[in-house]
């Protein structure tokens, strides 16, 4: 619906009564279902949007059409939720009102549910921007629907083989989505990912790139998540001068000269201050900035750069960008931290080999007194194929098993995870199996030493279950109460 049509609708001058009736009915149905599902302790991120889109298929475009600045989409395999949260934080610091799907529900109905929640019962959506993370498979359809002003692409890795197959399918989906974007928009691309840079589309949009320019210490990980080994253009071997993780790094093809472009925005320095926080140096097109960034992990450096680059594309002042990022906190289920007495609980979603390896890398930087709880489900939202567990370098965790106070496995595929740990080098007697996640959480907390750390590594639906249990224990609160 065009903005002038929406203005007529809200001022009484719009005479498409059937559409108005459907839109209002969809919003009312969605809001009512959201209230009911949350009374039952559920998130209300899927069913309200599904039902509302059945009633009014153009609901998302109609609501977003009311926003003065339009919409932004973040997509890719890993980093969507954190990048979306960082961009939203920057825009809010700049004084804009934003809508975003902070729960991580990123299919078309998750986007619709977030918009319904932010709108009024009369289908008015106040604010400036919608910042939405979108599933790679849903990306073309959502882009076609909401016509985003900006698109941010994080990376492409193997993920949910039952849905996507190999990464060529993901790249094709991203290509279709990029081509559906209005030509007046902009795109933000990770220059360190050769599979992203090689995506060519017919869009005439402005393209921004970002990447790392750091010398990081080498590690002993097997890099089992490296999915790109040949040149995307000529299929010859791709060479690397630097690899940060998986296939992200500084690459070039000696056969056809395909290479990493020089990023518009790059991270050029990192040091740790006396408080243990990373202080980062970032090179922008016209200046350099330094800021303290509290989030852990190399993968979060990429999320940070994606957010900075998007903000630059929107002409947000550098001072505002720095202030917002220094206040960053972990997103829902992504290195989210809870305190219980003198114990620390950290929950980190895992869903593919690359993401899981990066979480393990963070765990290995910690001191002793660590307990581990793996909670693996194989529902549709998790991906029904759990063979990816065999591509995660759990052998690195086994190599330091003496510093682990407990190793527990839970969820629908708890026994599969126990077998994987066994073949990674853990003694079967050290692996505790508790299929019920609520019981497993209590056991894991009990096994965590005073002053120790409990790392919970769940798949998506297991994360939601665990979050509800922790909320009932008085730890944290549901995302919709933030």
342: Cβ contacts below 8 Å, ≥ 6 apart: 450, 451
Nearest to 452 by CA among 363, 331, 358: 363
Residue 399 sits at φ, ψ, to 5 deg, of -65, -20
User: For this structure, is 213 an active site residue?
Assistant: no
Catalytic, out of 213, 215, 385, 482: 385
> Which H or E run contains 374?
strand 370-375
Convert 411-426 to b/e letters by CB count within 10 Å (16 or more is b). Answer: bbbbebbbbbbeebeb
The answer to whether 385 and 375 have CB atoms below 8 angstroms apart is: no
**E-strand spans in 51-198?**
70-75, 98-100, 129-133, 150-153, 186-190
d(CA 239, CA 338): 42
Q: What angle do CA 91, 97, 103 make, to 5 degrees?
A: 80
**Residue 481 in 3-state DSSP?**
helix
29: Cβ contacts below 8 Å, ≥ 6 apart: 48, 51, 52, 55
Give the Å distances, CA to CA, from 402 to 367, 399, 406, 407, 414.
Answer: 11, 8, 10, 11, 22
The answer to whether 389 and 376 have CB atoms below 8 angstroms apart is: yes
CA end-to-end span of the chain? 31
Give the Å distances, CA to CA, from 319 to 326, 332, 334, 431.
Answer: 11, 26, 26, 49
**Residue 174 in 3-state DSSP?**
helix
Q: What string of DSSP letters covers 205-227?
A: -EEEEEEE---PPP-----TT--
85: Cβ contacts below 8 Å, ≥ 6 apart: 100, 102, 328, 331
Residues assigned a catalytic role: 385
């Amino acid at each position: 619906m065009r903005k002038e049509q929406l203005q007529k609708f809200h001022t009484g001058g719009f005479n498409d009564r059937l559409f108005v009736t459907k839109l209002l009915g969809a919003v009312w149905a969605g809001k009512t279902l959201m209230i009911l599902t949350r009374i039952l302790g559920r998130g209300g991120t899927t069913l309200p949007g599904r039902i509302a889109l059945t009633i009014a298929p153009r609901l998302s475009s109609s609501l977003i059409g009311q926003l003065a600045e339009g919409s932004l989409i973040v997509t890719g395999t890993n980093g969507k939720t954190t990048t979306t949260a960082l961009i939203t934080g920057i825009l809010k610091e700049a004084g804009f009102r934003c809508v975003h799907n902070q729960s991580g529900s990123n299919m078309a109905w998750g986007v619709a549910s977030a918009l319904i929640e932010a709108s009024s019962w009369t289908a008015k959506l106040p604010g400036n921007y919608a910042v939405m993370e979108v599933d790679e498979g849903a990306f073309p359809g959502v882009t076609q629907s909401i016509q985003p002003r900006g698109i941010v692409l994080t990376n492409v890795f193997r993920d949910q083989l039952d849905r996507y197959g190999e990464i060529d399918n993901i790249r094709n989906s991203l290509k279709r989505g990029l081509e559906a974007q209005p030509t007046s928009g902009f795109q933000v691309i990770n220059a360190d990912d050769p599979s992203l840079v090689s995506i060519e589309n017919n869009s005439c949009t402005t393209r921004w790139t970002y990447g790392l320019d750091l010398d990081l210490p080498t590690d002993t990980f097997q890099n089992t998540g490296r999915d790109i080994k040949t040149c995307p253009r000529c299929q010859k071997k791709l060479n690397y001068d630097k690899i940060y993780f998986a296939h992200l790094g500084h690459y070039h093809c000696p056969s056809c000269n395909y290479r990493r472009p020089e990023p518009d925005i790059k991270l050029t320095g990192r040091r740790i201050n006396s408080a243990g926080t990373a202080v980062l140096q970032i090179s922008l097109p016209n200046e350099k900035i330094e800021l303290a960034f509290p989030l852990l992990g190399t993968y979060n450096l990429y999320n940070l750069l994606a957010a900075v680059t998007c903000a630059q594309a929107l002409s947000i002042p550098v001072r505002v960008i720095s202030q917002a990022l220094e206040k960053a906190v972990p997103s829902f289920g992504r290195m989210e931290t809870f305190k219980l007495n003198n114990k620390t609980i950290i929950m980190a979603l895992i869903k593919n080999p690359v993401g899981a390896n990066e979480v393990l890398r963070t765990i290995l930087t910690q001191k002793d007194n660590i307990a581990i709880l793996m909670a693996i489900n194989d529902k549709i939202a998790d991906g029904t194929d759990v063979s990816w567990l065999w591509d995660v370098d759990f052998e690195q965790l086994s190599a330091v098993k003496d510093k682990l106070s407990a190793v527990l496995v839970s969820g629908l595929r708890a026994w599969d995870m126990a077998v994987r740990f066994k073949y990674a080098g853990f003694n079967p007697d050290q692996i505790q199996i508790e299929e019920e996640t609520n019981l497993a959480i209590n056991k894991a907390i009990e096994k965590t030493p005073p002053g120790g750390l409990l790392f919970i590594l769940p798949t998506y639906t297991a994360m939601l279950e665990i979050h509800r249990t922790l909320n009932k224990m008085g730890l944290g609160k549901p995302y919709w109460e933030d």
